Structure 1
Amino acid sequence: MRFGVLGPMVVRRADGSEVRVGGPRLRALLAVLVVDAGRVVGVDRVSEALYGPCPPAGVANAIQSQVSRLRALLDVEVERSPAGYRLVVDPGEVDVLRFEELVARGLPGEALALWRGPALPDVGDAPFAAVCVARWEELRLRAVEEHDGASVGLLRELVAAHPTRERLVARLVRVLHREGRQAEALALVERTRRVLVRELGADPSPVLAAAHGEVVRGERPAARRVLPAQLTSFVGREEEVRLVGRALGSSRLVTLTGAGGAGKTRLAVEAAAVRPGEVCFVDLAPVVGGDVPRAVMAALGLREDGVAAVADPVARLVAALQDRSVLVVLDNCEHVVEDVAGLVGGLLVACAGLRVLATSREALGVTGEVVRPVAPLDVGGVGSAAVRLFADRAGAVNPSFRLDPATAEVVVGICRALDGLPLAIELAAARVRSLPVAEVAARLGDRFRLLSRGSRSAVARHRTLHAVVEWSWGLLDEDERVLARRLTVFRGGVTLGAAAAVCGVAGSDEVLPSLADKSLVEVVGDRYRMSETVREFCAARLVESGEEREVVGAHAAHFAALAARAAPFLYGEGQLVWLGRLAAEHDNLVAALRWAVGHDRAVALRLAADLGWPLWLRGLRSQGASLAAEVVRAVGPTPPEGLAEEYLLCLVNASSTGVAGLPGSPSPRELWPSGLAGPPSRPFLTVLWGMAHGAPRVDVAGLAVVRERLLGPDPWSRALGLLGAGIQSRYEGRVRQAREEFAAALAGFRAVGERWGASLALAQLAGSAREDGDPVGAVGFLDEALALSREFGATEHTAALLCRRSEWKCRSGDLDGAAADVEEAAVVARSQGAVEAVAQAWLGAAEVARRRGDLGGARRWCAEALRVCPRGWFGPEEVRASILVVAGLVEWACGDRVAAAGAWGSAVAVAREWDNRVVLARVVDARAHAAVADGDAARAALLAGAARGLRGGGAVLDPEVVAVEAAAREALGVAVFGEVVARGAALGWDAVAALLDA
């Protein structure tokens, strides 16, 4: 079982189901036992936890009664002894004990990931809880101070609670600086300085002063470094680390080659660790062909948010890396070597600051590549690298081991027999836990007798390594062998619960740790992983057993069930928790889906449909679309009976992001909405349709039918329906109704605790507030949406919100503030390779330049924005049209009326194609501006009225629009101007289009 107290108390069985622990006393009893799991808790401490300082008469019986109730709930034992009570569980099954262990091991990132909220919030005010929580919070604060990857949201929360904790403030200052938010960082320093003076009478410490100085001087902030934590010491390759570093200094592509188990990965990690600057590690072992660019995107933290178009993954990487100096480590390239070679070759040409360190069993074959073979460790004698490695690992598993004269020669013989291969040596050293070193040597010699003949070529070394794994296999009992071979169906590691559910081995919670003790698997956090070499060996045993299809099928069924179980939580308060769980199982979920595509298409459809929304939320939209396309291709043009919704969702998902190659498949519009018998059970289908195809072309009565057909009765779907209705009302000019619908949508999303929808609703409310003449309120809504977006990690969405805030600041005359927002948006968008957001940022830069009178700069920014803006669906087409509107204004101001008219005509064409009144209103405003410049006040007034009608009335805040209306009013007189404006506001869509054509 798993126990969680770092947040609301949670208890889960091995299958993931939750055990409800009701009542404050029962929760207090469980809490006091859990925090000392595996140890006896005295009766006095239990009594105080349950009843405080004044226990009732007969407290011993009362405690025993509570213990009996607890035993009935749990699948583990609560032992009674004269000294007290003991919860018989491994400390590794308790989140806070794992947290303490990870902090002690120097792994703050993994430790912080275990927190779900305030610790022990539901056990009352028991003294033990207060003491424990204080200790854990202090450890958490230290971990955050030491962890370079802590999020801005978490840092802000902790700084607000501990404003005088200067190391914490310094960490937030540096993170803000790294994200390009220098003004915010400087404001934080100044605010902290005032707090320190007021509360402590002290100036900032050197730690905070140093961070402040980095921002003021504009020094490059500390680089992002993503490397796997190492659990063992590094022995024997110190000179090779230096040589690899030298090779990286002279070449931008270095490949470490060698047999499996030669130590390529560890050498690459150590070489990267001593190199300054930004470093990113990408494990390609679980990746299949075609997914290499997305694996690199994920490692770099490049998200694809659910509010913007998806760029080609390679283009995304180029956009993100072309202005950065970064070392990317690509590990385990051999099975996707052609894909890696193609990607690396292209990136190195396009990104001058990029360096790549690859590990592979063969060279990539890319021009300029430096290949460094990784040879076995030297086995020259007692002081050799191989012997030192054996001694180090043997001492780790058996503290009594000593490399004395009696054992030294034996160890030298073992290392020579193993040809100095690090993995083979580590596997042999692990046996010292239970065997004398001489016995290890004797068994090794027997095992390798047939393999000691012939050439000592690379092939022989590989056979030797295979034999070492085979020898380790021979030491396993039957249950261990069964579990080891069945574990090979997992990708990216496995938890105890998943291993038990899929592998079907009795007592797997004991057998799996035993495999870890015997070095067949390694433990990282709460997950067990096999090295690729061991996995390949055990996978062959699975094939020989004839169990492969059954076990792989069980794996697919288990992870399909996990995705289905997660689905409802992704639309509510548990969204981030379940996204984290699915992220941890990402490789397993993808493997399950790909197996099901070829063997069980019904499972494939359900799993692809359930994965669409979490992949979208996690910024992996193109991967979700690609997987959906694989399923549609396999299924063909007709969905299986009872799976119409799943098929339609996959079809829309694939087509919405430009995935091609679905021959014979129907158009999504052919199936929507007639292909559904009722509202979809997966609200993501409605989201996806709206994002990909815009609002349905129906009238108000038709909209009610559509909502009834496409929106379920659950609270989240109702909130989504209100959001969609508000957007349609806004596009059709019903401003007041739109505002009411956005407010109701926000309330609905907040009620269920869902962040993505709330952020979108806030952004729409910002637009409504601005139309109401409340620019301050509009920026307030945007600030709130930005905070929510940053907490969610939706950086592309963050960039889009910054662009919108910049636009409004620009129109209110705050050009400096607008320029700052544009600059930050560009930094965020380019760091993510988010080309649509980059286009929005350049549009903002063009508007700032135009309004400052820099027409040459504005023209250049418009051209750059059009160059990078993608095409093909509603979002980017609206951005493209908005760029064309501004480009037309610039050309008109430069005197090129033909170019201006061409740009505005193209924008109108986009507005017509997508029924977009917002874009059309912007074109009409621009034409009114031109009409005033031409002295045609009547036409300007008519166009001004048409723009008002398209926007549904609302306050006019843009100073340029105000100036246009004022000039027309002065020329025509108030009465005539009012009459003409009213006539323009009454024009319908076609009449406005005809007016523009004239």
Structure 2
Amino acid sequence: MERTGVEARFVDLAVVSADGAEGGAAEAVVGALGLHDAGPLKGGGGRMRPDPVDRLVAALAEREALLVLDNCEHVVAETAQLVQRLLGACRRVRVLATSREALGITGESLWPLAPLAVPAGGEAGGPQGSAPGAVTAAEALGFAAVRLFVDRAAAVRPGFALGDAQAGSVLRVCAALDGLPLALELAAARLRSLPLAEVEARLGDRFRLLGRGERTAAPRHRTLRAVVEWSWDLLDKEEQALARRLTMFVGGAPLAAVEEVCACDELDDPLEAAVGLVDKSLVEVDEAGRYRMLETVREFCAERLAESGEEARLRAAHAEWFLRLAAEAEPCLRRSEQLQWLRRLDAEHLNLLAALRRSVTTVPERGLRLVALLSGYWLLRGLRGQAAPLAAELLRSTGRRVPDGLDDEYVLCVLNARAEGPGRSEQQEWWRRAQSIMAERTAPPRYPYLSFLWATAAGPTDASLARPEAHIGTDPWSQALLRMGKGYLALFGGDAGEAVEREFDAALRGFRDLGDRLGSAETLDAAATLASRRGHHARSLELWEEGIAAAGELGAVAAVVNMRCNRGYGLLRAGDLGAARADFTWAESTARRDGLREELGSARCGLGDVTRLESDLTTARRLYESALHGAEAELVFGQATRVRALVGLGRVAEAEGDAEGALARHREALDVSLSGGDLGEAACAVEGLAGAALLAGDGERAGLLLGLGQAVRGGEPAREQDAVRTAAGVRDLIGARRFEQALRRGASMTAQAALAELGTVGRPAR
């Protein structure tokens, strides 16, 4: 779906840790753009997550976008590098950054933000040199600072209006606060409980302290500190206690968490104190009932917390509360209430990461439990890359000894740390330790998602997977996953028989009964692919439609893109080029927008097939080569995409009469597909070899190769238009009887015998 106009995205960097523990500024931009990881059940534990900066470049390369990066000062060097990379690679992207310090990169235009307009000379004079007390309301409203103050005052004290009698006092307040918006809003909020004259008097008393402040600090910082400190002094003891304790939370918190984490002897009623903080504009509460502090207020109150000596106790209380929340959510993510719980965990994601970060060095055992409980959430939401750095740090903190009773938690931590990418020798050590744990286990894991993550990371040949009783639980979700896995492995191995269909049917019933939308969506996608390969096109479209709807309900964009691509290939088998083009075009646009490189390659291969079948060989070649170029650039594409691109280029060469070039491309495609064990894709490469043989005039070998392709595919005849056309050409060349003989000779072999035969038949004739 193409976007029009300039797309603007706001990115709050205030919540980014200065040490980059959550992945830093780039991860924050990835999150703001909604660029989650690839399809949860598709990527799994075995897929390395791309570098977030590379992901942003891929997503923004062709978009016209404005990125607003707010509060950069604590990560200014990292932000500068990120902005420089984005602007250099994405010509239509512009960045607006707010910071106390310039980024210091080429092309930067500085726009200092002055305070809102106030009378020249501060308290000494008013407009046109008149005394502040003599100005009219109309004259005072000529200043932006006054208009903001009056607007906020009316919001907290209904009926407040600026008259001539109040104009002088308001001007003096605005001048004393230097026209700073936050200071004006806090002062106006005092009108809820204090008369204007009292507000003016208290401001005057407070600012006499500024001269004794830190001389090296920026004036704006000193002024803000003074205003917040003045507001702090107006709080009672219970409100102050709650205000400093609220700084434990990142991005706000629900009332239940506030009441439990912040409670103690000197705070009898956290709710009453919270209401007081809201009334005094130090805390905001949204429609969902989450309490949140303005960042400047939070920074000041955090200093008060550090002085109180309560910080260690509150960190533990915060982490324990969110550990219990994660434990409550974990089983619900596999049931019908998963949408509700995903939204709840979305709201608390920053708090969950904070709890994990605080546990890394203090209580690593708690950190391991948090990682294990959140693995399903990160998988469903495509957020494993954000958690990977913390998981890796936790493993370093844990050391060489796996804590007693936490074997499953340790393995899940290793699996999440792998999303950070290869390159560290310690990753190999962690992986060997996890392999040892899985090889020695005698009972199913306590966390069902471990079964899936381990299977996709270790691969189908892992010895531990030969013992289902030791790695798959007996609960309904795990059993549905087991049936889906069996079906996938059979389909991947070239089996398209009814037994595979029964596996998918059983898995789908299990996921539907539980209400797991993603499990249902992934099973529907596989079942639709199977139906399409068997020629049941109407049924396949029904299954894809249902699967796409289920994944869309979850917001799993990558899964939807993947299914739209798969449906596009199914439509090609059915001969509906127009509908296939629509699916591939949507998938290509969405994958390009979200930086989904593998899905982008698959969509471009599909578009290449459509344009090639429409005889536009130039466009088709460009699309196929684009997919291959992307694979070679930085990331490893899925082997299926690479095979499709190579087969497509082989078909282009065939259409141009280049038999030798076609043979080379198809042979390379076959080698790639066999290296990954994907016999379904290998069959397409074998049928490509048949097309090259036909072009070379060897009808016997072409017929045999078509039969071998059928054998590799598990006995199902080829339904792709290219293979059907090749079969017709062979029949015309050597006659129907000889063609059928050659075809039967190849099709009668087992898949393994066919692959052995391909070792000689698929090579160029000498």
TM over 0.5: yes
Residue 885 of structure 1 and its aligned partner are, at CA, apart by 2.4
Question: Which residue of the partner structure matches residue 10 of structure 2?
Answer: 281
Question: Which residue of the partner structure matches residue 409 of structure 2?
Answer: 646
**One-letter code of the match for 1:412?**
L
Quick one: which of 438, 456, 475 aligns to 1:714?
475
Runs of 4+ more than 6 Å apart = 453-458, 870-875
In 1, Cα distance between the equivalents of 2:637 and 2:459?
9
Number of residue pairs the alignment of both structures matches: 723
Query: Contact conserved, 1:789 with 1:797, CA < 8 A, in 2?
Result: yes
* Counterpart secondary structure, 1:328: strand
Question: Which residue of the partner structure matches residue 137 of structure 2?
Answer: none
Residue 948 of structure 1 and its aligned partner are, at CA, apart by 2.0
Residue 974 of structure 1 and its aligned partner are, at CA, apart by 6.9
Question: Which residue of the partner structure matches residue 688 of structure 1?
Answer: 453
Question: Which residue of the partner structure matches residue 437 of structure 1?
Answer: 196
Quick one: which of 418, 431, 442 aligns to 2:177?
418
Residue 986 of structure 1 and its aligned partner are, at CA, apart by 5.9
In 1, Cα distance between the equivalents of 2:636 and 2:510?
25
In 1, Cα distance between the equivalents of 2:403 and 2:308?
33
Query: Contact conserved, 1:694 with 1:874, CA < 8 A, in 2?
Result: no
Distance 1:672 1:756, change over 3 A: farther
Question: Which residue of the partner structure matches residue 262 of structure 1?
Answer: none
Query: Contact conserved, 1:924 with 1:996, CA < 8 A, in 2?
Result: no
Residue 82 (structure 2) pairs with residue 317 (structure 1): no
Distance 1:963 1:426, change over 3 A: closer
Greater RCO structure (CA 8 Å; 6+ sep)? 2
Question: Which residue of the partner structure matches residue 218 of structure 2?
Answer: 459
Residue 580 of structure 1 and its aligned partner are, at CA, apart by 0.3
Which structure 2 residues correspond to residues 241-390 of structure 1 after superposition, within 5 A?
A: 277-288=6-17, 289=20, 290-304=23-37, 305-306=39-40, 307-308=42-43, 310-380=49-119, 381=126, 382-383=140-141, 384-390=143-149
Query: Contact conserved, 1:608 with 1:631, CA < 8 A, in 2?
Result: no
Query: Contact conserved, 1:331 with 1:359, CA < 8 A, in 2?
Result: yes
Residue 357 (structure 2) pairs with residue 624 (structure 1): no
* Counterpart secondary structure, 2:586: helix
Residue 745 (structure 2) pairs with residue 980 (structure 1): yes
Question: Which residue of the partner structure matches residue 724 of structure 1?
Answer: 485
Residue 358 of structure 1 and its aligned partner are, at CA, apart by 1.3
Question: Which residue of the partner structure matches residue 763 of structure 1?
Answer: 525
Q: Which deviates more from structure 2 when the two are superposed, residues 726-735 or residues 362-371?
A: 726-735
* Counterpart secondary structure, 2:474: coil
Residue 650 of structure 1 and its aligned partner are, at CA, apart by 2.0
Residue 437 of structure 1 and its aligned partner are, at CA, apart by 1.8
In 1, Cα distance between the equivalents of 2:747 and 2:294?
74
Question: Which residue of the partner structure matches residue 689 of structure 2?
Answer: 927
Residue 594 of structure 1 and its aligned partner are, at CA, apart by 1.1
Query: Contact conserved, 1:294 with 1:313, CA < 8 A, in 2?
Result: yes
Which structure 2 residues correspond to residues 564-579 of structure 1 after superposition, within 5 A?
A: 564-579=327-342
Query: Contact conserved, 2:13 with 2:72, CA < 8 A, in 1?
Result: yes
Q: Which deviates more from structure 2 when the two are superposed, residues 450-459 or residues 677-686?
A: 450-459
In 2, Cα distance between the equivalents of 1:874 and 1:779?
30
Residue 834 of structure 1 and its aligned partner are, at CA, apart by 0.9
Distance 1:361 1:656, change over 3 A: closer
Residue 418 (structure 2) pairs with residue 655 (structure 1): yes
* Per-residue Cα deviation, 1:268-301 (whole angstroms, up to 9, x for no partner): xxxxxxxxx3221111111123421221122122
**One-letter code of the match for 1:422?**
P
Question: Which residue of the partner structure matches residue 123 of structure 2?
Answer: none
Q: Which deviates more from structure 2 when the two are superposed, residues 862-871 or residues 834-843?
A: 862-871
**One-letter code of the match for 1:666?**
W
Query: Contact conserved, 2:544 with 2:567, CA < 8 A, in 1?
Result: yes
In 1, Cα distance between the equivalents of 2:531 and 2:457?
27
Residue 455 of structure 1 and its aligned partner are, at CA, apart by 11
TM-score, length basis structure 1: 0.69
In 2, Cα distance between the equivalents of 1:932 and 1:887?
17
Distance 1:693 1:966, change over 3 A: farther
Residue 124 (structure 2) pairs with residue 395 (structure 1): no
Which structure 2 residues correspond to residues 571-610 of structure 1 after superposition, within 5 A?
A: 571-610=334-373
- Percentage of pairs with the same residue: 45
Q: Which deviates more from structure 2 when the two are superposed, residues 303-312 or residues 315-324?
A: 303-312
Question: Which residue of the partner structure matches residue 444 of structure 2?
Answer: 679
Query: Contact conserved, 2:730 with 2:739, CA < 8 A, in 1?
Result: no
Residue 587 of structure 1 and its aligned partner are, at CA, apart by 1.0
Query: Contact conserved, 1:874 with 1:914, CA < 8 A, in 2?
Result: no
In 2, Cα distance between the equivalents of 1:594 and 1:996?
58
Residue 673 (structure 2) pairs with residue 911 (structure 1): yes
In 2, Cα distance between the equivalents of 1:347 and 1:874?
22
Distance 1:586 1:792, change over 3 A: same
Distance 1:845 1:722, change over 3 A: same
* Counterpart secondary structure, 1:282: strand
Residue 273 (structure 2) pairs with residue 511 (structure 1): yes
Quick one: which of 734, 739, 742 aligns to 2:501?
739
* Counterpart secondary structure, 2:446: coil
In 2, Cα distance between the equivalents of 1:603 and 1:618?
22
In 2, Cα distance between the equivalents of 1:453 and 1:774?
82
Question: Which residue of the partner structure matches residue 252 of structure 2?
Answer: 493
Structure 2 residue ranges without an equivalent (≥5): 120-125, 127-139
Distance 1:993 1:592, change over 3 A: farther
In 2, Cα distance between the equivalents of 1:642 and 1:920?
44
Which structure 2 residues correspond to residues 9-158 of structure 1 after superposition, within 5 A?
A: none
Query: Contact conserved, 1:658 with 1:872, CA < 8 A, in 2?
Result: no
Structure 1 residue ranges without an equivalent (≥5): 1-178, 181-219, 224-276
Query: Contact conserved, 2:651 with 2:688, CA < 8 A, in 1?
Result: yes
* Counterpart secondary structure, 2:302: helix
Q: Which deviates more from structure 2 when the two are superposed, residues 289-298 or residues 760-769?
A: 289-298
* Counterpart secondary structure, 2:189: helix
More helix by share: 2
Query: Contact conserved, 2:693 with 2:701, CA < 8 A, in 1?
Result: yes
Residue 376 (structure 2) pairs with residue 613 (structure 1): yes
Distance 1:570 1:796, change over 3 A: same
* Counterpart secondary structure, 2:539: helix
Query: Contact conserved, 1:480 with 1:515, CA < 8 A, in 2?
Result: yes
* Counterpart secondary structure, 1:952: coil
Quick one: which of 542, 546, 562 aligns to 2:325?
562
Query: Contact conserved, 1:885 with 1:922, CA < 8 A, in 2?
Result: yes
TM-score, length basis structure 2: 0.89
Residue 843 of structure 1 and its aligned partner are, at CA, apart by 0.6
* Per-residue Cα deviation, 1:890-948 (whole angstroms, up to 9, x for no partner): 23443545544443343333333322222222222212222233333333333233222
* Counterpart secondary structure, 1:957: coil
Query: Contact conserved, 2:391 with 2:414, CA < 8 A, in 1?
Result: yes
Question: Which residue of the partner structure matches residue 135 of structure 2?
Answer: none
Residue 997 of structure 1 and its aligned partner are, at CA, apart by 5.5
Could you say what the CA RMSD is over the residues aligned between the two structures, in angstroms?
2.6
* Per-residue Cα deviation, 1:774-795 (whole angstroms, up to 9, x for no partner): 1121122112212222222222
Distance 1:279 1:732, change over 3 A: closer
* Counterpart secondary structure, 2:94: strand
**One-letter code of the match for 1:465?**
L
* Counterpart secondary structure, 1:639: coil
Residue 339 of structure 1 and its aligned partner are, at CA, apart by 1.6
Residue 764 of structure 1 and its aligned partner are, at CA, apart by 0.9
In 2, Cα distance between the equivalents of 1:320 and 1:966?
43
**One-letter code of the match for 2:315?**
V
In 2, Cα distance between the equivalents of 1:879 and 1:728?
18
In 2, Cα distance between the equivalents of 1:448 and 1:680?
62
